[in-house]
Amino acid sequence: MWESLDSWIAATGAVAASACALPGCFLLLRRQSLTGDAISHAALPGIVLAFLAAQMARQAGWLSDAGYEASRQLFLLAGAVVLGVGCAVGSEWVQRRGGVEPSAALGVVFITLFAVGLVLLRLIADQVDLDPDCVLYGTLENSVLDTVPLGSLVVPRALLRHLALFLLNLVLIGLFFKELRIASFDPGLANAMGIPAWLMHYLLMTMTAFTAVSVFESVGSILVIAMLIVPAATAYLLTDRLVVMLVLAALLAAASAWLGHAAALFVPRLVFPWLGYPQVTDASTSGMMAVVAGALLVAALLAGPRYGWVAQFLRRRRLATRIATEDLLAWLYRNAERGQALLPLESGRISQVTGMSRTRVRRAVGQLVRRRWIERTPDGLRLTAAGHTAAVNLVRAHRLWESFLAERLDVPAARLHESAERIEHYLDSQMLDELEAELQLPERDPHGSLIPRQARDE
């Protein structure tokens, strides 16, 4: 089912997607994600007008038929870039002069241009071979049929074009990397340092328009909009470093294009015969690429190492467990202080006394035993030497914090314990030393309990 043609389709899409993802990263960081969307909409009238202009030039005899064929692409590109950048400039003008809110100004301008494009397209439908559907969905499947020989390989022309575009973007970003970075991060600072932020802004706008328009014909505008932002957003969720983000975005874009084409081929074939429609064998490739990009974003959202929801959930749970074990440890210590070294094994009774839930107690006890901080004896639980050290530090944190609250924050004695229960888990030994120094080595906490001195691990 997967033929060599499919590989070419996927490769062409992947390179186009990567080329989009590079400027997309900067759009995302500059909070101009919607500008990419607007530019790719606004390019439509540019394309149509360029078609018209080229046609008129041919009819007027300024262009030979061969010249027309050769320069048609250039006309298209120029027209679309002009209108795409014009959209960005125009919306800024409307925003500043008209006092219109930025996103509304953008919306007004791009929708106007897009409507102009649609109207023109219908008006001159019999003169140009432009299909609005083709603008939306692209003709990735057909564009790979136009091939050129390259050594022993026969390579689609579109792939080479997209590769050149990708390299161009790469070079531009490489050349202006630090300027782009600073202009995106802090335009004011950039200006103060003599880097014209507006120039970087228009460089990025032009790059976006150029990229969008160049890959338009083969992959369609949906994919352009998706690939500009979605892989960049995914990468942004995965890393804090700009270089890594750029690389990741390009890779993610390529991966979503490849997987997207595969999904377009295989998923309908798996699902629809089962639903009773065997005639559905494939779906729109560029649409599926966008969907896969979205799926990757969701995956990053869930499984990202740092900002992922699963990771955060696990960390939160681990934190809760740690707090539970520490609370239990401190409780054991206080009991030991009162001369009650052995404690009941039963989690139910511990939970009754400490107010922690049974499962929490069980998990905490398990953790403590595993760490060898307590041991199970036939008569009950008992602190080990290591456990004693850990408990001493905790209780020290608790009582020091209570002293601090009472002395510096004038918290009434009745409310000290609760606050200290919350904070004790967050004080590291350095902070404790400082606390101790600041409070001048207090002997006893406000309740009169002895504050233990720091215990070292043996």
Partner 1 sequence: MNAENGSGKESASPLVIRDLTVAYHRKPVIWDIDYEAPAGRLIAIVGPNGAGKSTLLAACLDLVPRVSGEILVFGQPFRRQRGRVGYVPQRESVDWDFPVSALDVVAMGLYRRIGWCRPVTARYRKLALEALDRVGMAHLAHRQIRQLSGGQQQRVFLARALVQEADLYLMDEPFAGVDAATERAIVELLRNMRAAGKTVLAVHHDLQTVAEYFDDVVLLNMRLIAAGPVEQVFTIDNLRRTYGGKLALLDRVGHRMSMDVQLER
Partner 2 sequence: MSRSGSPATGFERNRLLGSAAICAVVGVLSWAAWIPLAEGAGPLQETGNSQSSGVGGSTSPFWGSHGLAFDYNTLVVWSGAVALGAGGGVVGVFLLLRKQALLGDVVSHAALPGVGLAFLVLELVRAGSGKWVPGLLLGAALAGFTGIAASTLLRRGTRLKDDAVLAVVLSVYFGLGIVLLTIVQRLPGGNQAGLPHFIYGKAAALRMSDVQVISAVVTLAVLVCLLLFKELRLLAFDERFAAAQGWPVVALDLVLKVLVVAIAVVGLQGVGLLLVVAVLIVPPAAARFWTERLDRMVAISAAFGALAGLAGVAISASWPRVATGATIALCDSVLFALSMALGVERGLLRRWWHLYAARRRQDEHHLLRACYELLAGERGGVAPQELCDGVVRVDGLVRWRGWSPQKLRRLLERGQRRGWIRPDPQGWRLTPAGAAEACRHVRNHRLWELYLVKHADVAIDLADRRADDIEHVLDPELVAMLEEELETGGGLPSSPHRVATEPTSATG
Which residues, 6+ apart, have CB-to-CB distance to 261 below 8 Å? 6, 9, 10, 13, 285, 288, 289
299: number of CA atoms within 13 Å, CB side? Answer: 10
The one of partner 1, partner 2, none whose footprint includes residue 322, by CB under 5 to 8 A per kind, is partner 1
Which residues, 6+ apart, have CB-to-CB distance to 60 below 8 Å? none
- Our CB check for partner 2 shows the closer of 138 and 446 to be 138
- Give the residues lining the site for partner 2 (CB under 8 A): 28, 31-34, 36-37, 41, 94, 97-101, 103-108, 111-112, 114-116, 118-119, 122-123, 125, 132-133, 136-137, 222-223, 225-226, 228-230, 232-233, 236-237, 264, 268, 272, 275-277, 279-284, 286-291, 293-294, 297, 301, 307, 309
The sign of the torsion formed by the CA atoms of 165, 214, 157, 261 equals positive
Q: Does 431 bind partner 1 (CB under 8 A)?
A: yes
Q: Does 423 bind partner 1 (CB under 8 A)?
A: yes
User: What Cα–Cα distance (Å) separates residue 101 from each residue in 31, 41, 92, 97, 201?
Assistant: 15, 20, 10, 11, 19
Among the residues of 239-304, which ranges form H helices? Answer: 242-275, 285-303
Q: In the bound complex, what is the minimum distance in angstroms from residue 342's beta carbon to partner 2?
A: 46
In residues, how long is the chain? 458
- Our CB check for partner 2 shows the closer of 222 and 350 to be 222
Q: In the bound complex, what is the minimum distance in angstroms from residue 384's beta carbon to partner 2?
A: 42
**Angstrom distance (rounded) from CA 255 to CA 227:** 11
- Our CB check for partner 1 shows the closer of 37 and 436 to be 436
Q: Does 411 bind partner 1 (CB under 8 A)?
A: yes
- Our CB check for partner 1 shows the closer of 278 and 366 to be 366
Q: In the bound complex, what is the minimum distance in angstroms from residue 109's beta carbon to partner 2?
A: 9
Tally Cβ neighbours within 10 Å of residue 116: 17
Q: Which residue has the tokens 């400082």?
A: 434
**Angstrom distance (rounded) from CA 209 to CA 3:** 33
Per CB under 8 A, the list member of 3, 410, 443, 458 interacting with partner 1 is 410
- Our CB check for partner 2 shows the closer of 169 and 286 to be 286
The piece of 5-13, 71-79, 265-273, 308-316 that touches partner 1 (CB under 8 A) is 308-316
Among the residues of 338-413, which ranges form H helices? Answer: 347-354, 358-370, 385-408
Q: Does 404 bind partner 1 (CB under 8 A)?
A: yes
User: What Cα–Cα distance (Å) separates residue 380 from each residue in 354, 356, 358, 390?
Assistant: 16, 18, 17, 19
Tokens of 195: 């880097």
SS3 assignment for 298-357: HHHHHHCCCCCHHHHHHHHHHHHHHHHHHHHHHHHHHHHHCCCCCECCCHHHHHHHHCCC
Tally Cβ neighbours within 10 Å of residue 366: 13
The one of partner 2, partner 1, none whose footprint includes residue 427, by CB under 5 to 8 A per kind, is partner 1
- Our CB check for partner 1 shows the closer of 345 and 439 to be 439
The one of partner 2, partner 1, none whose footprint includes residue 286, by CB under 5 to 8 A per kind, is partner 2
- Our CB check for partner 1 shows the closer of 408 and 444 to be 408
Letters for 346-385 (x = contact with partner 1 by CB under 8 A, - = none) are: ----------------------------------------
The one of partner 2, partner 1, none whose footprint includes residue 28, by CB under 5 to 8 A per kind, is partner 2
- Our CB check for partner 1 shows the closer of 48 and 105 to be 105
Q: Does 427 bind partner 1 (CB under 8 A)?
A: yes
Among the residues of 30-156, which ranges form H helices? Answer: 33-59, 65-98, 102-123, 132-137, 140-143
263 and 10 in contact (C-beta within 8 Å)?
A: no
Q: Does 433 bind partner 1 (CB under 8 A)?
A: no
Site residue total, partner 1 (CB under 8 A): 29
- Our CB check for partner 1 shows the closer of 177 and 426 to be 426
Q: In the bound complex, what is the minimum distance in angstroms from residue 100's beta carbon to partner 1?
A: 10
Report the interface residues with partner 1, using CB under 8 A: 99, 306, 312, 315-316, 318-319, 322, 404-405, 408-412, 414-415, 418-419, 421-423, 426-428, 431, 434-435, 438
